A and B are shown apart, each in its own frame.
Chain A
């Protein structure tokens, strides 16, 4: 009997285990979900912070160093205030108009004032992280996109008119475009039922074409800075621009790798593509400049890296590392030609080259995404039988290039038409341009009552 007791105990425990099995499996599944959520959420919150860092201080320093010293604070303020203005707008209606399930062009008001946006994931977009994380991550894109435009009208736009312009621009251009490409039911959304499936991983159309093309419209509508191009308007501090560009490069990992909306292999792939695109573009721009002008400049190197980061943005979650190098190199060469050669002949004053880098680089990257996108990197598109669908030309799907071109065209048209209308409205209500004397004195003193460099103080 004594020998039998342990045996009985084993049988008894087996019985218990069988009875508890479904519970234990459920609790294991819950633990796995919670672990995955914790991992994904940690990366996504980090990414959100990285993308915010791109605007302030990244872009603020990059642009601030490129203007004359009487305008450095005004220029930095134009980036910084987006961090406040767009945040409030996003909370009220922006997130809902972009990501609420609406029609082909707009979301709806279901998430207005962040109603029902909480700890539960929104399974349509990111099933492993709280919707709050997804919402705040996407907010950072809505901040940097309008901030990019400020490069075009630098040193001459009235602060009040800029606030009104950006508010209307968010409502009229950014939120609809974000909905079209990324929102559920959006016209161009390849993954959530869009009629024209356009591949845009992190914002080639949504961020860079909209901002770059709108920037060109601003430059054309507002006219040149007084004295341009006869008077010298050299960058007042390229060391600031250098720091800003390097912060942009680092922040861009949050922008692109974060757009995986999870922390797995797709994020790694986008991270790698981002690095390779930036590196190749810096080299491309520098080589072109070296041959064309005789010297490789620091401004050329950092401008090239930004152009590459722009171009790789739509492609980052779809392409392998070697095509990323090709896309970056192409962006460096093309954007150099645009900024250093073609712009001078066209005669418009896009002060800090928001169009030449973001508009052109974004369009180039969006089209090349249709060439190099492959389902070996991104397995997001499957047919009803669960088989992977071909993505770009390299997968044998040449038609994707047409979809990409249509996506670009829609983005261009929306940006051109709406920006001109919004500028006209702002001009009628407030006047978009500062007075002659104010422009001569500089925005720092006339708009904000401060000077950046009080070295004798």
Chain B
């Protein structure tokens, strides 16, 4: 099993959700986060005083899929989240040791 942790633009969340749903991915966890990569934020000016806002609002999407499907899901997610401009975000991929469904103690891919 692989865990995908994608940091995406907040306004891309709906498209990503729809694309993953079409692919048959059932579960995901969404968090509102702030951060920056190479984008380095923007400048705001209040009554002449400048502030550099370098932590920008982003959405973190976490989901765990069967290893066999990982590449397909990653491609779909990246395609849906892409604008082609700086600030589109990143996807990190982790190996997952075990998954347990709390309700009935299903284990492994059956728990996904």
Contact B44 A299 (CB under 8 A): no
Mark contacts of B44-63 with chain A using CB atoms, 8 A cut-off: 1 yes-contact digit, 0 otherwise. Answer: 11111101000000000000
Identity of the chain B residue whose Cβ is nearest the Cβ of A344 in the assembled complex: B48
Within 8 A of B (CB), among A282-308: 292-293, 295, 297, 299-300, 303
Contact partner, B47, options A229, A232, A295, A303, Cβ 8 Å: A303
Contact B45 A234 (CB under 8 A): no
Complex interface: chain B residues within 8 A of A299 (CB): 46-47
Complex: A336 Cα to B47 Cα, angstroms: 8
Contact partner, A344, options B44, B49, B51, Cβ 8 Å: B49
Complex interface: chain B residues within 8 A of A293 (CB): 45, 48
Complex: A341 Cα to B48 Cα, angstroms: 7
Complex: A299 Cα to B51 Cα, angstroms: 15
Interface size on A, residues (CB 8 A): 18
Contact B47 A340 (CB under 8 A): yes
A444 beta carbon closer than 8 Å to chain B: no
Within 8 A of B (CB), among A3-22: none
Complex interface: chain A residues within 8 A of B47 (CB): 299-300, 303, 339-340, 353
Complex interface: chain B residues within 8 A of A340 (CB): 47-49
Mostly helix, strand, loop or mixed at chain A's interface?
A: helix
Contact B46 A234 (CB under 8 A): yes
Task: Give A359 Cβ to nearest chain B Cβ, in Å.
Answer: 15
Within 8 A of B (CB), among A332-350: 336, 339-341, 343-344
Mark contacts of B1-29 with chain A using CB atoms, 8 A cut-off: 1 yes-contact digit, 0 otherwise. Answer: 00000000000000000000000000000
Complex: A234 Cα to B45 Cα, angstroms: 9
Task: Give B92 Cβ to nearest chain A Cβ, in Å.
Answer: 29
Complex interface: chain A residues within 8 A of B45 (CB): 293, 295, 297
Identity of the chain A residue whose Cβ is nearest the Cβ of B52 in the assembled complex: A232
Complex interface: chain A residues within 8 A of B51 (CB): 232, 234
Within 8 A of A (CB), among B42-85: 44-49, 51
Contact B46 A297 (CB under 8 A): yes
Complex: A339 Cα to B45 Cα, angstroms: 12
Complex interface: chain B residues within 8 A of A194 (CB): none
Task: Give A237 Cβ to nearest chain B Cβ, in Å.
Answer: 12
Complex interface: chain B residues within 8 A of A303 (CB): 47
A235 beta carbon closer than 8 Å to chain B: yes
Contact partner, B44, options A234, A292, A300, A341, Cβ 8 Å: A234
Complex: A295 Cα to B42 Cα, angstroms: 14
Mark contacts of A303-320 with chain B using CB atoms, 8 A cut-off: 1 yes-contact digit, 0 otherwise. Answer: 100000000000000000
Starting from the known contacts A234-B46, A295-B45, A344-B49, 12 additional A-B residue pairs (CB-CB under 8 Å) come to A229-B49, A293-B45, A293-B48, A297-B45, A299-B47, A340-B47, A340-B48, A340-B49, A341-B48, A343-B48, A344-B48, A353-B47
Q: List 18 A–B pairs whose Cβ atoms lie within 8 Å, in order of A's numbering.
A: A229-B49, A234-B44, A234-B46, A234-B51, A235-B46, A292-B48, A295-B45, A297-B45, A297-B46, A299-B47, A303-B47, A336-B48, A339-B47, A340-B47, A340-B48, A340-B49, A343-B48, A344-B48
Q: Which 3 pairs across A and B sit closest by C-beta, in order of nearness?
A: A340-B48, A232-B51, A339-B47
